[in-house]
Amino acid sequence: MKKTLLLIALAAGATHLAAKSIDADDLPTSSVNSTIVQNYLDSLAAIVDTRVAPPPHRVVFSPYIFPLIGQGTLYNAVLSQQMAQQQTLASSSTLPSLGSKVDTQLLLVEASNNELARAYTSYPQLFTATQQQLTESGGLRDDISKAIVEEVKLAEKVVNEEPDVKVEEVEPEVKRPNFWTFKGNGGLQFTQSYVSKNWYKGGLNSYTLLSMITLDANYNNQRKVQLSNRFEARLGFQTAENNIPKFRPTDNLLRFTSNLGIKAIGNWNYAAQLQLQSQPYRGYQGSSKNVISDFLSPLYVRSSIGMDYNINKKRFTGTLKLAPLSYVITYVHVDSRVTRYGIHKGHNSKHDWGPNIQFTFNYKIAKNISWQSRLYWFSNFKSTLIENEHTINFSINKYLSAKLFLYPRYEDNRYYNLKKDADGNLTDDSARQTHWMFQEYLSLGFNYDF
């Protein structure tokens, strides 16, 4: 730092001498003295050229270092900064700053003022001018009020034209969400048995074919109203040697169920149900040719009003229906079969009132095993009907599956050992017998969900 101050002082001194135009004519005429003075001036000029002036590649083009290399002048900014520092140091131990430390220009001005302040106290004889004198002589200007902003050209040509965009009027299209969902399932199951004529235990060749389809159309507006519709159809035939008739049905069902639910509270809904049930093909009694059922013989029309409780778990979904008021119509189209279903001769229908309970569920036992169940209970306070269907599906892949169907049924309004009066109507002492019925089949075949 001392070397730097010395160089600055020497430079200032050289400048001062040059300003006063000191030459050999102002010195004594002695040749010895003139030679010494001339050599001194040449040495001083060489020092200034080599040590004070930086090499060309290190020149910093900044106006903030002009006070360091210009004529020795007392600047107001230097004195103001020193006075401000003295006042701050009197009340704080930290050094002051002119501004943000990240501003390199302010740091440069601060450092330059500090160096000039040290030169003022160490070499006061080198500073013969003041800032006011330089301003009056035109060397300094303070009348620049508008900041000089460097213009940066981002492009040679800037196109500032409004884009020609044509906006066409578009009619808004309002699409209402679709609250309907549709799905279905179809299957074709079959079994085959062959026995040679000389088989030691005897037997008959037989073939069994079972087709089934289920269609669902459900509505849910995600608020209060839910409507579910399901159509089920099953028809299976068995044929064997010496069968009369050749094809006998093993399963025979047509059923349509519609449920309307209005949300009440939690999982409870106000519910109304309508169900139609019949069969597509005639049915025979045992191995005889006696036809005991047919299409619309019988036809059950069941309606009920009550409450539903919905269960929706990860692997278990179900619905419990409680209907204190239920209305069942039993209709038989063929007159000769009406008495078999508890209908008086000369009529084709009967009407029953009473409570009704239903419970349906679907349980995912494993990845490829599911269990579907339906429980139906109805009573008119004179007779009772219970139907309990179970279907266990074993899925082999997307198209192959095996089904186990179990169907126990309880009905005590069927009449046996019938006694009739002269008009052919059932008498009051007709023997009514409680009767359990059961149906089961295990099949393998094609299955497809859509």
DSSP labels, 108-137? HHHHHHHHHHHHHHH-GGG--EEHHHHHHH
Q: What is the pLDDT of residues 266-287, one digit of tens each?
A: 999 999 999 999 999 988 877 7
Cβ-count burial 289-305 (b if 16+ within 10 Å, e if not): eeeebbeebbbebbbbe
Q: Which of 83, 117, 137 is the last residue in one of the domains?
A: 137
In a domain, 156, yes or no: no
The tens digit of pLDDT for each residue in 386-419 reads 999 999 999 999 899 998 999 999 988 655 445 5
- Same domain for 348 and 416? yes
- The answer to whether residues 248 and 109 belong to one domain is no
Q: Which domain holds residue 55?
A: 2-137
Instruction: Categorize the per-residue pLDDT at 321 as very low, low, confident or very high, splitting at 50, 70 and 90.
Output: very high
Here the CATH number for the domain that contains residue 196 is 2.40.230
Proportion of the chain above pLDDT 70, given as a percent: 69
Residue 151 domain-assigned (yes or no): no
DSSP 3-state assignment of 31? helix
Pick from 77, 109, 137: which residue ends a domain? 137
- Name residue, tokens 């740091």: 107
When mean pLDDT is compared across 1-5, 55-59, 110-114, the lowest value belongs to: 1-5
**Mean pLDDT, residues 40-56:** 59
Are residues 306 and 437 both part of a single domain? yes
- Asked whether residue 445 is domain-assigned, the answer is yes
If DSSP states are collapsed to H, E and C, what string results for 282-320?
CEECCCCCCEEEECCECEEEEEEEEEEEEEECCCEEEEE
Residues 268 and 374 in one domain: yes
Residue 250 near residue 208 (C-beta atoms within 8 A): yes
**248 and 389, same structural domain?**
yes
pLDDT at residue number 169 = 80
Q: Is 52 helix (H, G, I), strand (E, B) or coil?
A: helix
- Say if residue 202 is in the same domain as residue 93: no
Q: Would you say residue 70 lies in a domain? A: yes
Tokens of 294: 């047919």
Look up residue 54 and give its two tokens: 């930086």
Please give the pLDDT value at position 65. 73
Q: What token pair was written down for 445?
A: 């075949």
Give the model's pLDDT for residue 249: 87
Q: Are residues 210 and 294 in the same domain?
A: yes
Domain shared by 209 and 266, yes or no = yes
pTM for the whole thing?
Answer: 0.58
Domain membership flag for residue 232: yes
Residues 361 and 213 in one domain: yes
Same domain, yes or no: 125 and 213? no
Q: Which of 104-113, 178-187, 284-293 has the highest mean pLDDT?
A: 178-187
- Asked if 124 and 209 sit in the same domain, the reply is no
The answer to whether 233 and 213 have CB atoms below 8 angstroms apart is yes
* pLDDT score of 201: 55
The number of folded domains in the chain is 2
Q: How many CB atoms lie within 10 A of CB 358?
A: 24
Domain shared by 207 and 131, yes or no: no
Residue 144 lies in a domain: no
Distance CA 305, CA 354 (A): 11
* Residue 119 is assigned to a structural domain of this protein: yes
Supply the mean pLDDT for the chain.
Answer: 78
- Chosen domain end from 105, 137, 169: 137
Evaluate whether residue 155 is within a structural domain. Answer: no
